[in-house]
Amino acid sequence: LRPKIGGAGEVSYNADSVSDRILIIGGVAAGLSAASAARRASASAQIVVLERGPVSSYGACGLPAFLSGRVRRLDDLVVYTPEFFRERRHIEVLTGHEALEVLGGRRRVRTRSAKGEKLFDYDRLVICTGAVGRAGIAGLETAGVFEANTWTGAQALDAALRGARGRLHAGVIGGGYIGLEVADALLSRGLEVSIFERGPTILNGVDGDISALLEEAVVERGARLFKSTEVREIAADEAGHLRGVETTAGTADLDLVVMCAGLKPDSGLAAAAGAAVGDTGAIAVDDRQQTSLAGIFAAGDCAETRHVVTGKPTWIALGTAANKQGRVAGHNAAGAPATRFIGVLGTLAVRIFGRDAGRTGLSSAEAEAAGYRVAGELVEAATQPGYMGQERVTIKIIYRLDDLRLVGCQLLGREGAVAGRLNVAATAITGGMTLPEIEQLDLAYSPALAPLYEPLLIAAHNALRRR
C-alpha cells in the first residue's frame, strides 16, 4: 500500500486498499483526536466517526464564554467542520448518528439517524461517548430548566435570555467550576444569580481556605451563594410554569434554572457490550486506552484514567485529558506501535468573578483519603516587585510529610496570575519533585513579569522552615 501525499501535505488513499475499519463513537474532543491520530498512524484505514448531536468538533469549554456574550456566535466554537475532516483528513464524520448498540462479537455497531437504523462494521472501535448530567432532581423537565454543558442546552438558554423581558433571577444548581463559570456569565448578561451548592465549599478539588477566598469574590461580584444547600425539587405551578426550587434550606423563587450539578461518565453503551466498568463508573482502560474487550478502546470523559500521584484509577472529566487520551486511543486503534497515556493530575484553571483560580493534583482531603500524611502551606505573595505594583496571588501547596513530595497546588489571584504558576506546580508534581528541590527551582525573574522569589518557591521555603 502506498498512500499518495498531496501537495498541501494531504494524504489520499484508495478505498479498495483499505486494510482497517476504525469506527469512533462520539465526535467532540476525544473522538476527533482519536480519528486524527488514527489517520496520522494509518494512511489507508477507513475512519468513520458517529456523533449523535447536530454538531461535531466544538469547544465545549467555550460554552460559558458564549453565554456571557464574549463569544458572539455558537458556531464560533466549532473547531473543524465535517467537510474539513472529509477533505483534508479523509475521515467521515456523521452527525445525527446515534450508536444504539455495540455487537462486539460481530464487530458491528447498530446506529440510528434520521434515515433509520444502520449497521456499521469495524475492525477496531473507539468509544468516546463523554459524560452526561447527573440527574436525580424531580422536575427537570419543567420549561425554564436548562443545561449549560451541551451545545443544544447552551443554545436554548441563550435563546431564552434573548427573548426575556425585565431582570431575570437565575438559579444555578452546582458550585463546581462549570456552575461558577455559568453563574459569572449570567451576571455579565445582567441577571440576578443565586448559586446552590450542596457541599460546604465551591470549586471542587480545592481546600476550604481557598474556597473561602473565592466565595468572597462571588459575593463581591453580586451573586448569592447558598452553600450546604441541596436542591431537592424544581417547583412548578399548576400550569407547569417554573416557580423556583425547593431546597434543604427553604424555597427560592426563580425565573430560570441552570443545571450544573455535576456529570457522570456515559459508560452505558460500553457496559452493555460487556466492557469492564471501574468503581468510578467510567470504562476501565489500560494505559493504551484499551478496554477489557478485544479491539475496543475508550477515551475521554467516558473512560477511567490513572492518577499521576496515587497511581490509582480515577475519573476526572477534563478536555486536556480527553484530547490526549483520544490521541493515544486512535494511534493504538490504528495498530501503530503502542503509545501510552501517563495519567492525569486534574489540572484546571478558570477565570471567574474577576479572579483566576486553579488547582492541580490532590486537595488536602483527597490526599488524606488516598492514605497520605500531608500538610499544607498557604502563602499570599507578590507577583511583581513592590515598586512595580501591589498585585498578589494566594498559593496553597500540599505536600507529603514522609518524603516532602509536592502532591497538590491551588492558586487564586488576579487575571493572568494563575495559569503559568499552576503549570509549573503540575510539572513539579509529575516529576515527583520534593520541597527542597522546588525551593531552588531556577524560575524567571524580571520586574515587569515576575517577582524574584516565585510564590511557589516561597511556599516551599516556608513549609521547610516550619519543620
Ligand X SMILES: Cc1cc2nc3c(=O)[nH]c(=O)nc-3n(C[C@H](O)[C@H](O)[C@H](O)COP(=O)(O)OP(=O)(O)OC[C@H]3O[C@@H](n4cnc5c(N)ncnc54)[C@H](O)[C@@H]3O)c2cc1C
Q: Is 328 exposed, middle or buried (0-12, 13-18, 19+ CB in 10 A)?
A: buried
Strand 313-314 and strand 305-306: the pairing is antiparallel
Smallest distance, Å, CB 144 to ligand X? 20
Rg (CA), the chain: 24
Residue written as grid cell 519543620:
467
CB nearer ligand X, residue 99 or residue 404: 99
Residue written as grid cell 475499519:
21
Smallest distance, Å, CB 254 to ligand X? 20
> What's the DSSP call for residue 384?
S
CB nearer ligand X, residue 91 or residue 348: 348
Region for 146 from its dihedrals, namely left if φ exceeds 0, alpha if ψ lies in -120 to 50, beta otherwise = beta
CB nearer ligand X, residue 42 or residue 129: 129
Smallest distance, Å, CB 142 to ligand X? 21
Cell of 62: 467555550
CB nearer ligand X, residue 128 or residue 225: 128
> What's the DSSP call for residue 121?
E
Neighbours of 383 (CB within 10 A): 21
> What's the DSSP call for residue 74?
G
Smallest distance, Å, CB 383 to ligand X? 22
Cell of 189: 448578561
Instruction: Check if 260 is active-site.
Output: no
Q: Are 161 and 273 in contact (CB under 8 A)?
A: no
- C-alpha to C-alpha distance for 465 and 447, rounded to whole angstroms: 26
Nearest to 265 by CA among 299, 302, 297: 302
Cell of 460: 516551599
Choosing from 61, 260, 302, 409, which is the catalytic residue?
61
Q: Are 32 and 130 in contact (CB under 8 A)?
A: no
Cell of 375: 500538610
Nearest to 214 by CA among 418, 461, 48, 7: 418
Smallest distance, Å, CB 185 to ligand X? 9
- C-alpha to C-alpha distance for 219 and 155, rounded to whole angstroms: 27
Looking at this protein, which amino acid is placed at residue 420? G
CB nearer ligand X, residue 178 or residue 245: 178
Residues that bind ligand X (CB under 6 A): 25-31, 50-53, 60-61, 63-64, 98-99, 128-131, 148-149, 178, 266, 269, 300-301, 317-320, 322, 348
Give the 3-state secondary structure of residue 19.
coil
Nearest to 330 by CA among 307, 297, 291, 302: 297
CB nearer ligand X, residue 3 or residue 313: 313
Smallest distance, Å, CB 74 to ligand X? 13
Could you tell me what percentage of the chain is helix, strand and coil, using 3-state DSSP and rounding each to the nearest 5? 30, 30, 40
Smallest distance, Å, CB 188 to ligand X? 15
CB nearer ligand X, residue 271 or residue 378: 271
Smallest distance, Å, CB 151 to ligand X? 8
CB nearer ligand X, residue 93 or residue 457: 93
Catalytic residue list? 61
